[in-house]
Structure 1
Amino acid sequence: MSLILRFLGTSASRPTVERNVSSIAVIREGETLMFDCGEGTQRQMMRYGISFALMGIFFTHMHADHMLGVIGLLRTLALQGRTEPMNLYGPVGSEKLLWRAITLGSEKQHFEIKVFEVTPETPLKRHGYSIIPFTVEHGDRTAIGYHLVEETRLGRFNPEKAREMGIPEGPLWGKIHKGETVQLADGRTIKPGELVGPSRPGRRVVLTGDSRPSEGTITAATGADILIHEATFATEEAPRALETGHSTAREAAEVAAKAGVKKLVLTHVS
């Protein structure tokens, strides 16, 4: 089961020649989710082959470098003839500003748009996984991170052994993988345990958005497969990071170590 992260913008408050401002696309089994949508995100989507058939956009907070891109992106979706509803999610207090962005320069909506203010620790359940918002510390700005948690996954199916056993590729493979016992045309009965390994824990991805190091992030990221943590400043600029509600790269690494994550990815780098 595929799970792909595409970093469409890793720069801090302003873009550079090489890097755009904040946005991450998460592609899971063909479903594309977006986390933050800074200015120019739709150009980055084109550049890196990200589908415009988004299933939802999740905002960590309402600073311009994290949400201005939604204005042009929604216009493009309308010009492309989108008819499916679009859901936008953000922290408490974000709905008014998001609607100002949605209606800026356009009096008519060509497809349904819904805005949801999410509550920390309240899961947004989807097919096979959930997205759980959690509180982060970003100065006096209301901000949240997101924790993507998959449900327990099926064990790995052994296609080589299935071929050796003479089981024809097709629907029977799917049935066995899903735990069904099947009977072959020659009368043999095949049990799932012969070809399917033990169930596997779901993968977990945690994104902080802009944030100071916090216990909330450590709790959400404990044992996670990937922690995507902002690292706006270097260690020598730690006082500036504290003043502006951001983190240094060292602080992000300390959070990752305390949480015991498998992989740390730094973003929002000045």
Structure 2
Amino acid sequence: MEIIFLGTSSAVHSKERNHPSIALKAFGDVMLFDCGEGTQRQILFTKVSPMKISKIFITHYHGDHILGLPGLLQSMSLHGRESKLTVYGPHGLNGVKNAIYSLGYCAIDFPVEFVEIDSGIVEETDEYVITAQRVRHNVPTLAYSIEEKKKPRFLREKAIELGVPVGPDFGRLHNGEEVEVNGKIIKPEQVLGEPRKGIKITYSGDTRPCEEIISLAQDSTILIHESTFINKDNTNAEEHAHSTSIDAAYAAKYSNSKELILTHISTRYGEEYANIMLEEAREIFENTRIAKDLMEIEL
């Protein structure tokens, strides 16, 4: 599993920080979370293939989170994409779709499904579950978590003790199927260990501090949380429905997350303020770092 930060700025980009977008390579898939202006150019500096992006999850419809989407879709079409792409977002996504398809003369000649969602499970497979949660911003906004489904450990010696021959029946039991051995039914729970928690990644989108993001992020391996302001500008954070570095740190602490990554950094500060932001957060949640454009994390 790999996370690539394509853009880590807030509403105004800079030479160092592009508008928000995160790519996740996992489960044989490439997923995009938000798609700010310039996202497709940022992708050129990574090993991410835009043609392999299968799903895009939009948190909300402020321009810094969606204005890269029309260009990305048109470029995919120009490069001959044929495979389906699914775009998820809160209520209002159909209006975004209509706007995209009315831009210019460039047709989008591959299937794109736009799916409006609310809080709840967005997609679930045998390998993972993706959940959306409404959070507190000044427009309808979703946060997302993606959690790996990790199989319990297979107790090989226990299976042999029960008479299961080494071979395909091991795999069937590990996948939750019963098998018959010498007329006796062996159930999966007889040869499986305790449930194991898989990797969980939570992405806040834009939000004020709230119980909703803490609940969604519970026990996350990594919480990626917006940190638009440093603490001295908390009044601005409240006025514009954003979070400070301290707000993000408390979200990580109360959600029992293992690591916090700050993103959506206001460019009003300049990079010299990054250490201030980091120090503020680490006073509350030590395992914190600040995202940078094109930063990659392997899990």
After superposing the two structures, state which structure 1 stretch, 29-38 or 101-110, moved more: 101-110
Compared CA separation, residues 103 and 86, structure 1 to 2 (3 A): farther
Superposition map of 1:1-270 within 5 A: 3-52=1-50, 53-106=52-105, 108-139=107-138, 141-153=139-151, 155=153, 200-270=196-266
**TM-score, length-scaled by structure 1:** 0.82
Q: For residues 8-46 of structure 1, what are the alpha-carbon distances to aligned partners after superposition, in whole Å with 9 as ceiling and x for unaligned?
A: 000111111111110000110331000000000011111
Partner of 2:159: none
Return the letter of the residue paired with 2:26. R
Judged with a 3 Å threshold, the aligned counterparts in structure 2 of structure 1 residues 174 and 102 are, in CA distance, closer, same or farther, namely: farther
TM-score (norm 2): 0.74
- Whether the 8 Å contact between 1:157 and 1:177 is mirrored in structure 2 is no
Question: Which stretch has the larger CA shift, 115-124 or 29-38?
Answer: 115-124
**Cα drift, residue 200 of structure 1:** 2.7
2:78 & 2:152 partners in 1: Cα distance?
A: 40
The 3-state SS of whatever aligns with 1:261 is: coil
Q: Provide closer, same or farther for how the CA distance between residues 47 and 173 of structure 1 changes in structure 2, counting only shifts above 3 A.
A: farther
Q: For residue 198 of structure 1, report the CA deviation from its aligned partner.
A: 6.4
Identity %: 37
* Alpha-carbon distance change, 223 to 103 in structure 1, aligned in 2, over 3 angstroms: same
Cα pair distance change 1:136/1:116, threshold 3 Å: same
Give the counterpart letter for 1:243 in structure 2.
E
- CA drift of 1:176 comes to 9.8
What are structure 2's unaligned runs of at least 5 residues?
A: 157-167, 178-191, 267-299
Q: Return the letter of the residue paired with 2:79.
A: Q
Give the total of aligned pairs.
247
Following TM superposition, where does structure 1 have runs of at least 4 consecutive aligned residues deviating by more than 6 angstroms? 171-180
Task: Decide whether aligned partners of structure 1 residues 133 and 241 sit closer, same or farther in structure 2, where only a CA change above 3 A counts.
Answer: same
**What's the offset of the Cα at 1:211?**
0.6
Using CA pairs under 8 Å that are at least 6 residues apart, name the structure with larger relative contact order, 1 or 2.
2
* Cα deviations by residue, 1:193-248 (Å, 9 ceiling, x for unpaired): xxx98663222111110111110001111111111110000000000000001000
How much has 1:175 moved relative to structure 2?
8.2
